[in-house]
Structure 1
Amino acid sequence: MQQSKEEHYLALLKTFMESQSDLITNIKELIKEKDVDLEGFKKQILNLLQLDFQGQKLLYTAQMRITNELKEFNSKKLPHIKVYKLKYDDCLLNHILIIIMKGKNGTPYQDGNYSFILKFPENFPFAAPSFKSLIPIKHPHIYPNQRLCTPTINEYYEIQQYSLLELLQSWYEILHREPNMLSLANSEAAEHYDDEFIKLQAQFLSNDNPILKLFKIYDQEEDEVEDYVMSF
């Protein structure tokens, strides 16, 4: 039976997620299929990206910590980093934040929408949140499972060491800077990581990405409030 355009895209995406070879060809093939409608394939997308949006009851201290740090972050009104809350199955989740970082103008990252998911454990801040890429990306400091390699979240995580603002600003700089060859999360991606490869990834992560469209955040204006609720 012939594959639908959507099924073909999912097959390409699965190859991209699993394969560390022919990275440039894989990205180009995904870009070609940018006009697919994945609305009916949400569960497959979630499974493929290993995303779990099930509700979780946070301790009161965790909720207060997150609320206060969101207030601090929002007060800075950073144009290049947006933080969104998530609504899933008509339920507003308080343990998940979606982060959208816009690539710096005048760099190969320009026009890219780099999307991340920050998930807080029940006993936060006594345990570290998980931080991973929402949309697949090949980057020297992102593991193949899309977990971010960042010094702000590691096995030595301390309660008061970093605020949400500091965590996001730190990752934004890591995303754009030259790879640290002594601390690589994806050596295959590092081998390809020149300006042309970065531009190709930015194109893949632009507003045309079918996965990004599912989250209904690609058309938000810069002056929209940062707690825009997404329905997935």
Structure 2
Amino acid sequence: MVNPKRITKELADLQNEPVDNVVIEPNEDNIYRWTAIVSGPSGTPYEGGKFNLQLDFPIEYPFKAPKVKFNTKIYHPNVDDNGNMCVGIVKSEAWKPSTKAQTIILSILQLLQEPNPDDALVASIAEEYNKNRILFDKNAAEWTQKYAK
């Protein structure tokens, strides 16, 4: 087993200097499983929502990327129906061991502020985002009201 010193330090850093609008809760029994409660960024259709995410860090962390999943349903081109998300820096081909958990969390916040329809998991939502932003914003806001309270 890999020494959990790095993940323990990153967790302590995040608890001492939290990222705005994000609360990290480690699993009591497993330092490699975190829950993040992310507040939807203001000025986005996700504003006012509280999104529950799960971060599963592999035992090989930081040499392998964590898996990040939305437990709260969200209307977003980069998140599928199962909560799987497409965040560039955690893709295995793009992962770097120097990437920290804080960077991953900031990337998730950035994706909520600026979806990336060019790297979509849900093509229909990406198309709506590109072609009818008003409808996209309406649908995303409705889902936020329905699921992220």
Taking only the aligned residue pairs, the percentage that are identical comes to 24
Q: How has the CA–CA distance of structure 1 residues 77 and 122 changed in structure 2, closer, same or farther, with 3 Å as cutoff?
A: closer
**In the TM superposition, what is the alpha-carbon distance from 1:122 to its structure 2 partner?**
2.0
Q: How far apart are the structure 1 equivalents of 2:44 and 2:84?
A: 24
1:139 maps to which of 45, 53, 76 = 76
Q: How has the CA–CA distance of structure 1 residues 106 and 182 changed in structure 2, closer, same or farther, with 3 Å as cutoff?
A: closer
Letter in 1 for 2:120: L
1:220 alignment partner in structure 2: none
Structure 2 regions of 5+ residues with no counterpart? 130-135
Q: How has the CA–CA distance of structure 1 residues 112 and 154 changed in structure 2, closer, same or farther, with 3 Å as cutoff?
A: same
2:133 alignment partner in structure 1: none
Q: The residue matched to 1:152 in structure 2 has which SS?
A: helix
1:202 alignment partner in structure 2: 144
How many residues end up aligned between the 2 structures?
142
Larger radius of gyration: 1
2:97 alignment partner in structure 1: 159
1:212 alignment partner in structure 2: none
1:98 maps to which of 35, 45, 59 = 35
2:124 maps to which of 188, 205, 218 = 188
Offset from partner CA, 1:91-118 (integer Å, 9 cap, x none): x222200011101234321111111100
**In the TM superposition, what is the alpha-carbon distance from 1:166 to its structure 2 partner?**
0.9
Q: How has the CA–CA distance of structure 1 residues 107 and 180 changed in structure 2, closer, same or farther, with 3 Å as cutoff?
A: closer
Q: How far apart are the structure 2 equivalents of 1:191 and 1:137?
A: 16
Q: How has the CA–CA distance of structure 1 residues 77 and 120 changed in structure 2, closer, same or farther, with 3 Å as cutoff?
A: closer
Structure 1 regions of 5+ residues with no counterpart? 1-58, 208-232
2:6 alignment partner in structure 1: 65
Task: Provide the TM-score with structure 2 as the length reference.
Answer: 0.84
**Following TM superposition, where does structure 1 have runs of at least 4 consecutive aligned residues deviating by more than 6 angstroms?**
none
**In the TM superposition, what is the alpha-carbon distance from 1:142 to its structure 2 partner?**
1.2
**In the TM superposition, what is the alpha-carbon distance from 1:154 to its structure 2 partner?**
0.8
* C-alpha RMSD of the superposition: 1.8
1:128 maps to which of 65, 68, 74 = 65
1:78 maps to which of 13, 19, 25 = 19
Q: How far apart are the structure 1 equivalents of 2:75 and 2:19?
A: 25
